[in-house]
Structure 1
């Protein structure tokens, strides 16, 4: 007659459970680390897309854009690893490698001080990655050295993009919507006043209402707007003029049927007045810190065009 199997002791059972817990914990930790890395890569890709969209280098449908002149944007594709774009088709959907190539070659971060003077991260002894991570939530505009991105012009065949050939600048915008913080980008032409485009890459606004700040239908109202608000006479005192873009309640044509204020305002979103107010405040508060730098751009643009420097009324 076979002898009955002896049941495992309590000590053995406990030891098995402990080992199993450690194994499961190790597996979960490994998966979490891998997932965090993937999430980080996805977030970096999305921010690159959003920044390129604000600069009118990338379309929300997934292809690059090329300005053929006078803001005539056509579908484009990556031609070289120097970030050069050539005319393409809407079917030329850009993959992640192409997006990062254009972003890394054509969007260049640098710093400006309280007087608007430029410096590099290297010259300032600041690590770019650490700076971006440490101050994103509190706002780069609140730092002694403030973040700006330079949009380099499309390079010629076989040549690297040049810091001397600039199409505009991108500012990181932060503020609060109805429910939580909102983060986005505002691209301004090299004249320091004209909006190229905008995007919002993070928010918790209500879908179908405030969340429309991230929709192309809302963002399409911004290109061509002026961030320095003109006086009722139509002249702009750049040194003192209010800065920002106002999201009105309703339609700009109804709120400002005449006068220059319409140049610095966009149509509001139905049912999302408070989110619109938050967007307005975000632009106003962020850009205020960059006025000295923007004034330098305005003055340089004025000198290039041969008109009087706009230190006062223009």
Structure 2
């Protein structure tokens, strides 16, 4: 039996509506899953930088949440170095804030090629049973060879000794600059010092091999065949530990530690 033109049009319209609803519902479900995976990856990298998770360890989401419960997430005003209570650190999107002129400001010229800075950042603190700071984990970013590297740098309570370093997003060449993810290279960082005795950023990724941390605290082995990426990591440390980055905040932490 032949269907009328009206029937065909109505059927087509209903089919389009059904497909649109299905696509929209799928997009919502996928977005939620992507956001959950992004949050899980952030937590895993913070835990690894802080030495609470071994590189490559396969943890369930429940195990990650259990370990992460020991970490205090706080907002820090970059300009003042003061901790502020304003919003939910768990849902704060630092990269989105950077793109909003109301939530960010122009960065001074720097070798890391950071162009804008969020007015506030989320840092991660771990304290011992006595309430004394043991570890602080700082988000860092900077340009390598092909693009921006995003990672976390963990420092001990003295705010100078490196606990760990991770990179979770970058565009560097696999086998060369991409070795920033290599556990063997990351294992060279703990015990190094980011500041000299005058509290100036001093840690450098050098060409060739550096000595052990106890003997050569201000240098880390360079990445073979990746001079520009290595220099980018040095620039990143220099910028974020300086006055435009976490310098004021870390100075405040040291003052609190001395007063305790």
State the TM bucket, normalised to the shorter chain: 0.7 to 0.9
Distance in 1, matches of 2:13 and 2:63, equals: 48
Distance in 2, matches of 1:303 and 1:58, equals: 31
Distance in 2, matches of 1:171 and 1:219, equals: 16
Q: Kindly indicate whether residue 228 of structure 2 is the aligned counterpart of residue 274 of structure 1.
A: yes
Q: Kindly indicate whether residue 52 of structure 2 is the aligned counterpart of residue 52 of structure 1.
A: no
1:184-228 C-alpha deviation (Å, 9 max, x unpaired) = 100011111100101111112222222211221111111011111
Deviation at 1:136, TM superposition (A): 6.3
Q: Kindly indicate whether residue 207 of structure 2 is the aligned counterpart of residue 264 of structure 1.
A: no
- Does 1 or 2 have the higher relative contact order (CA < 8 Å, sep 6+)? 2
Q: Which residue of 2 aligns with 1:284?
A: 238
Give the TM-score, by structure 1 length: 0.68
Aligned length in residues? 241
Q: Kindly indicate whether residue 33 of structure 2 is the aligned counterpart of residue 38 of structure 1.
A: yes
Distance in 2, matches of 1:170 and 1:150, equals: 6
The CA RMSD over aligned residues, in Å, is 2.7
Query: After the TM superposition, which residues 118-137 of structure 1 pair with which residues of structure 2 at under 5 Å, given as runs?
Result: 119-121=83-85, 125-128=86-89, 129-130=91-92, 132=94, 134-135=96-97
Query: After the TM superposition, which residues 116-195 of structure 1 pair with which residues of structure 2 at under 5 Å, given as runs?
Result: 116-117=81-82, 119-121=83-85, 125-128=86-89, 129-130=91-92, 132=94, 134-135=96-97, 142-153=117-128, 155=129, 164-195=131-162
Q: Which residue of 2 aligns with 1:199?
A: 166
Question: Contact between 1:110 and 1:150, CA under 8 Å: does it hold in 2?
Answer: no
Q: Kindly indicate whether residue 200 of structure 2 is the aligned counterpart of residue 226 of structure 1.
A: no
Distance in 1, matches of 2:183 and 2:40, equals: 18
Q: Which residue of 1 aligns with 2:109?
A: none
Distance in 1, matches of 2:249 and 2:257, equals: 13
Give the TM-score, by structure 2 length: 0.81
Following TM superposition, the consecutive aligned residue runs of length 4 or more in structure 1 with deviations greater than 6 angstroms are 136-139
Deviation at 1:54, TM superposition (A): 0.4
Question: Contact between 1:193 and 1:298, CA under 8 Å: does it hold in 2?
Answer: no
Q: Which residue of 2 aligns with 1:97?
A: 62
| Structure 1: stretches of 5+ with no match in the other structure | 63-92, 156-161, 231-235, 305-314
CA spacing shift, 1:130–1:43, aligned 2, 3 Å = closer
Question: Contact between 2:49 and 2:153, CA under 8 Å: does it hold in 1?
Answer: yes
Q: Greater Rg, structure 1 or structure 2?
A: 1
Distance in 1, matches of 2:73 and 2:178, equals: 29
Question: Contact between 1:244 and 1:287, CA under 8 Å: does it hold in 2?
Answer: no
Q: What SS does structure 2 have at the residue aligned with 1:167?
A: strand
Worse overlay, 100-109 or 183-192? 100-109
